[in-house]
A = this chain, B = another copy of it.
Amino acid sequence: MERLQQKHTPDDVKNAFRRYLRANGIKDTGARRMILDAALDLHEHFEAEQVLYLLRERGLKVGKATVYRTLPLLVDCGILKQVRFDVKQAHYEHAYGEVAHDHMVCRRCGLIIEFAADKIQALSETVAKGHRFHVISHRFQISGLCWDCSIACPIAAGPLEPGDG
């Protein structure tokens, strides 16, 4: 469902990053390359701390601040995408050459299901047009219960009914 498009090789992505850096007069440093490498080796939805942890695990000495300063670059050039769940810390996922998708998050077990964003994207455009708004991106997230949890849990508390007793 999510993988009918061609993936890019890690080298493709690294080259793209290099091009981006050059095009913007940003230096191509060892730390930035190491951070990109780590980010590419992390999957699903990772956070800044995990990048740092992976680097440490590999014996690479990169400061926390540098990770926090580099991730926005990777977002900026389209290699990563920042995803905000309900937690305070930011999460990231690969964006380069991926099909746009959104997330369903199970409130009970935290399971994350991805689904194609094409319909929502089209709907965004329609809605935006009616308000003279120029869409750059959208963020769509469904919160609820996955199949297993909806069986385990009779009913998740719904909002209060005005007339109930």
Contacts and interface: CB of A to CB of B under 8 A. Distances in A.
Nearest to A145: B134
B142 A19 contact: no
B123 A19 contact: no
A49 interface: no
B133 A147 contact: yes
Interface residues of A, dominant DSSP: mixed
B138 A134 contact: no
Instruction: Output the residue of A4, A16, A134 with the most chain B CB within 10 A.
Output: A134
Contacts of A165: 19
Size range of the chain A interface in the assembly: 35 or more
B127 A134 contact: no
Number of copies: 2
Interface of A: 1-2, 4, 8, 12, 16, 19-20, 76-79, 82, 84, 86, 88, 95-97, 104, 106-107, 113, 115, 119-120, 123-124, 127-128, 130-147, 150, 156-160, 162, 164-165
B131 A115 contact: yes
Contact of A128 (B1, B20, B104, B130): B104
B139 A127 contact: no
A144 B137 contact: yes
